[in-house]
Structure 1
Amino acid sequence: MSEHLLDHVRPFLDRSTETRIAYIQAPRWIGHQIAMQAHERLADLLARPPALRTRGLMLVGPYANGKTMIAERFAVEHLRTAVSQRVWVVQTREGAGLTHFYGSILQALRAPIGRSRDVGRKAEQIDHLLDSLKPRILIFDEFHNALRGRARDVEAVLAFLRRIGRQFDISPVLIGEVAVYDFINDTSEMASRFDLHAVPRWQYGEEFLTLLDSLEGALPLARASDLSDEPLARTIFQLSEGLIGEIVAIVSAAATAAARSGAERITKSELEQLRYIPVSKRRRAPARDGLL
């Protein structure tokens, strides 16, 4: 009866409903092809020989599509085997200007930030830390946040990316929406320094159906849901709009409801009862009108 589940998931069927729900709702890594290819490209940057003019990488795609998880998973796997940390993830702060950008880096490097808004002092502090820690890769998540300021500040951020390659042998990795791609390719000088790894929306096809099968095997429900069969698969695809974060959220919510109700499988009826609103339609959702 549990043949549809992965081996390590089957024991959860003997646990309480709340334990199973906690497992269903926990964040999970999905090693799909684009994610694994991204890891290979990041590994190549980590293993490259020293260079005076380093190349970087852009992970670009729509929101809620797994870009951050790809980067964080790679950083965690690196830490498990590394003698010293060579990969650091910077959560780029919201807000324009170099002060915010430098503050993001200092926070990521676990350095005291202080209240000073002296950009020059922060730059010197970052240089000292980079020289001491010797990172090989700096991953800037939500990098589009750094591109919303004045033109001179944006140019200073791009100049910083060029300089850390030359001065500290660091490969920058930029994660964000299409604005990142547009800014980097606005000049040939920057475009020549970054390769692109696209993380596009999923298309309805065999890879999407395989993804649903993988998700079904990872969720401890006693009965098979056959998520990859029509019309269930088509419904999930339409609700998610091809965003992997939404795909996982929809399937997890439906699995949680199935565990609580005792149905022990996801059906089209279960999905409809969620009344899940796709991201693109939430601004016009009836629930919004009730807030006015």
Structure 2
Amino acid sequence: MDHLLEHVRSYLDRSLDERIAYIQAPRWIGHRVAMQAHERLAELLARPAALRTRGLMLVGPYANGKTMMAERFAVEHLRAAEQQRVWVVQTREGAGLAHFYGSILQALRAPTSNRRDVGRKAEQIDYLFDRLKPRILIFDEFHNVLRGRTRDVEAVLAFLRRIGRQFDISPVLIGEVAVYDVINQTSEMASRFDLHAAPRWQYDEEFLTLLDSLEAALPLARSSDLSDEKLAREIFRLSEGLIGEIVAVVTAAAIAAVRSGAERITKSDLGQLCYVPLSQRRRAPVRDYLL
């Protein structure tokens, strides 16, 4: 059991269902990019008051752990702080200020109505900001608001500028590359936001270390040597360098290993999963059976 973390070893004695539930549970992986993101968020939280606050863009492809980085930071802050200063806003689908303001009100746990009274929502948000005094607002899936009319997008960007000046709030924008493109369209907005990139993983020593960390966290009785060249290359091919897919592939293989009694993951086991990489799913052979 030397390949397992100490607190994971006890799960080997649990029932099959308990072990599978533990394997499926979301888990924090403190890799370099994630820890650096937390450091930059901590700097925003600890900064002195300013009339022109700086924000942060956390940008990268889908399924690459951006949301988990932000939510983990927000939860850690909430556990340690006497007053909540970090709020996560799940940006709603749909264009326009009404949707955007509705996302903020929902995050602040404020009562809302279905009416599209933008002015009233803006007044309510200003009142809540003045009372709650947030320091960081994290807008997850921020690219949702960028699909609307130009004037609506410009109004959202104006809102981000205003909350820094009026309420001393640093906005954090999480999303795909469209967020980076829009913010950098003008020097005014570009000067207000730093970038923290969450790119796809490369096949390198850091990726192999990630696989070792995952193996240590999964209660399999036998060592799988996930960082072995052949096995690691196959996991990288299936996941296409996306950490969400890396975890999904390894999790599926670990569950299969528990159910079969093999208690380890091999390259042939990965082949039996019939796992289709994200970029190939639209053209996967199974699609033809769905027509």
TM-score (normalizing by structure 1): 0.99
Residues 123-147 of structure 1: per-residue CA shift (max 9 Å, x gap): 0010001111000000000000010
Whole-Å Cα distance in 1 between the matches of residues 115 and 279 of structure 2? 41
Amino acid at match of 1:287: V
Counterpart for residue 86 of structure 1 = 85
Whole-Å Cα distance in 1 between the matches of residues 15 and 231 of structure 2? 27
Counterpart for residue 106 of structure 1 = 105
TM-score (normalizing by structure 2): 1.00
Whole-Å Cα distance in 2 between the matches of residues 80 and 58 of structure 1? 24
Is the partner of 1:263 in helix, strand or coil?
A: coil
- Report matched runs for 1:112-191 at 5 Å: 112-191=111-190
1:63 aligns to 2:62 (yes or no): yes
Q: Please, which runs of 5 or more residues in structure 1 have no aligned partner?
A: none
1:244 aligns to 2:243 (yes or no): yes
Residues 11-47 of structure 1: per-residue CA shift (max 9 Å, x gap): 1111111111100000000000000000000000000
For residue 268 of structure 1, report the CA deviation from its aligned partner. Answer: 0.6
Q: Please, which runs of 5 or more residues in structure 2 have no aligned partner?
A: none
Amino acid at match of 1:248: V
Whole-Å Cα distance in 1 between the matches of residues 24 and 78 of structure 2? 25
Counterpart for residue 199 of structure 1 = 198
Whole-Å Cα distance in 2 between the matches of residues 230 and 195 of structure 1? 37
For residue 90 of structure 1, report the CA deviation from its aligned partner. Answer: 0.1
For residue 115 of structure 1, report the CA deviation from its aligned partner. Answer: 1.9
Is the partner of 1:231 in helix, strand or coil?
A: helix
Counterpart for residue 3 of structure 1 = 2
For residue 203 of structure 1, report the CA deviation from its aligned partner. Answer: 0.1
Whole-Å Cα distance in 2 between the matches of residues 153 and 96 of structure 1? 7
- Runs (4+) of structure 1 moved beyond 6 Å? none
Counterpart for residue 38 of structure 2 = 39
Counterpart for residue 280 of structure 1 = 279
Residues 235-288 of structure 1: per-residue CA shift (max 9 Å, x gap): 000000000000000000000000000000000111001000000000001111
Whole-Å Cα distance in 2 between the matches of residues 111 and 148 of structure 1? 26
